Structure 1
């Protein structure tokens, strides 16, 4: 495997002088999240790109790295309905989607927590596959079917799931079909020493992560801003050379020797959508190769499955993506 190529950092840029109202709102959204969350720029950027692209985001990291706080801060900075469900081994599908309740001589539907704009699925890999699968229709089609009747979900609708690394005890790895429904997978790393010092100082000043009013996180964006942003992102131009670059990257994952299952065409479209969103956040009207490279790992890493012998050799999907980025020629 070759050495990793340079990938531009995922840090929300400052608005350009002629930024639209929607662009300023999303820059303000990142600032509000950082009132409660120290660092984790890539995770914050991933959440905003997922929201802009109309996709779902999976956050993975060891316990105590502010995964839940990230999503709660995003919820507090949006004027949208939100709900949280803690996934546990005894959680049933109806606890998520809702169920029929008999009262007054008839069955009435009682909506579950999935009927919201922003759903935090906390520790999604702590619950068995049957309940994990209950989210699949909601994520793919923005609806759930109960007793044979499809019921649409609100718009916008976004799932942000958190999970602990799968090698931890008591976890159930998500199946490939459900992983593929996540637009992005972002690894929430342990903070740097400077960031950890800042975290401890904040707690010494009585910051309460369960009460975001102490951090003065305020709503700065709503459904209208999201609709306007998505409309503007659809106008971001993508040169044919950029689309060819995306296709070549994806196809290279399928032919890499350590890979058992490479990135699907859905992964290629995900990389395109997220690159357009990143270009928009950067204040440009066109996508560049750097936009593609910046989003390649979070958009593709969970769609790569390695051969058993490659995993035994210590290889990771992230390293495969880095190698592909280094090998595939970048358009000029």
Structure 2
């Protein structure tokens, strides 16, 4: 089942095989995705293809400096002497927040409740969002004109972050020679709610102990880096989802190793962004031994 989904997405997204897989796992686990890259690198195509392949509802919000929170969440209005609610585009399964860091901090913060609680409050009335609900946000590098840094409180709500792989020569030729820019890949027969529950994927104590050892290693060696309990819980859930995609009934150390570079990428600011994933593999994962390892 998941192989077919990955192959469908690959019709529109060249390369990036593992990033496709970990993004599917993130949505299954109820997490959120931050794609950081330059304009025109395929971020929007990636998000749209991911949503279509999973047969989910999708809405796109283009962030600009004059966008208001009510443009995202919705608002109430008076009609026939009665207040009614006009729900915003956040009421969907997957919302693409395109160029999130072009909006004001106040507008960016409109996502906080939705990303953490799965609810939206409009004029003191709280509404539940659809399930699944995930935010796929794209942001341009912060040194580009008109951008601002996302606050740490919002960054921590994103389960993973990554940049799309740079295409090699043959991949560029494939993209340039493809006459159709975007292929429709929605499979209406696929039912997201039929996916096996992550509660049935087993995680033993050694795996949890290994994750905590990594956490302690970071605290001991990089005192200015904050790794929240939220991010560690994201790691467990995402590892379960990846194990499910890999056809396993349980989480292994390998799933933890596979997801952590993308979970920690936007939480570590001690090296250049492009070097973060390799730094995590070389300076953290390679130096923390799995429990009972000789």
Task: Report the TM range for the smaller structure's normalisation.
Answer: over 0.9
Question: Could you tell me which of 321, 324, 331 is aligned with 2:280?
Answer: 321
Q: For residues 221 and 244 of structure 1, do their structure 2 counterparts lie closer, same or farther at Cα, with a shift above 3 Å needed?
A: farther
CA distance in structure 1 between the aligned counterparts of 2:189 and 2:247, rounded to whole angstroms: 18
CA distance in structure 2 between the aligned counterparts of 1:188 and 1:94, rounded to whole angstroms: 31
CA offsets, 1:54-81, max 9 Å, x none? 1111111111211100111122223322
Q: Under a length normalisation based on structure 2, what TM-score does the superposition of the two structures give?
A: 0.92
The answer on 1:244 being equivalent to 2:209 is yes
The equivalent residue for 2:194 is 228
Where does the alignment leave 5 or more consecutive residues of structure 1 unmatched?
1-23, 210-214
CA distance in structure 2 between the aligned counterparts of 1:42 and 1:217, rounded to whole angstroms: 19
| Native 8 Å contact 1:94 1:112 kept in 2 | yes
Question: Could you tell me which of 182, 187, 195 is aligned with 1:219?
Answer: 187
Question: Could you tell me which of 169, 190, 197 is aligned with 2:173?
Answer: 197
The equivalent residue for 1:16 is none
Alignment of 1:248-287 (within 5 A): 248-257=213-222, 259-287=223-251
| Native 8 Å contact 1:96 1:113 kept in 2 | yes
Report the number of matched residues.
Answer: 291
C-alpha deviation, 1:189, in angstroms: 2.8
CA offsets, 1:100-155, max 9 Å, x none? 12222222110000011111111111111100000000111111111111111111
| Native 8 Å contact 2:162 2:265 kept in 1 | no
CA distance in structure 2 between the aligned counterparts of 1:65 and 1:326, rounded to whole angstroms: 31
CA distance in structure 1 between the aligned counterparts of 2:186 and 2:92, rounded to whole angstroms: 20
Where does the alignment leave 5 or more consecutive residues of structure 2 unmatched?
none
Q: How large is the RMSD of aligned CA atoms in angstroms?
A: 2.0
CA distance in structure 1 between the aligned counterparts of 2:193 and 2:185, rounded to whole angstroms: 22
Question: Could you tell me which of 128, 131, 137 is aligned with 2:104?
Answer: 128
C-alpha deviation, 1:158, in angstroms: 1.1
CA distance in structure 2 between the aligned counterparts of 1:78 and 1:228, rounded to whole angstroms: 11
CA offsets, 1:248-304, max 9 Å, x none? 1122222224x5123111111111111111111111112211111111111122223
Report 1 or 2 for greater relative contact order, CA contacts < 8 Å, sequence distance ≥ 6: 1
Q: For residues 252 and 153 of structure 1, do their structure 2 counterparts lie closer, same or farther at Cα, with a shift above 3 Å needed?
A: same
C-alpha deviation, 1:230, in angstroms: 4.6
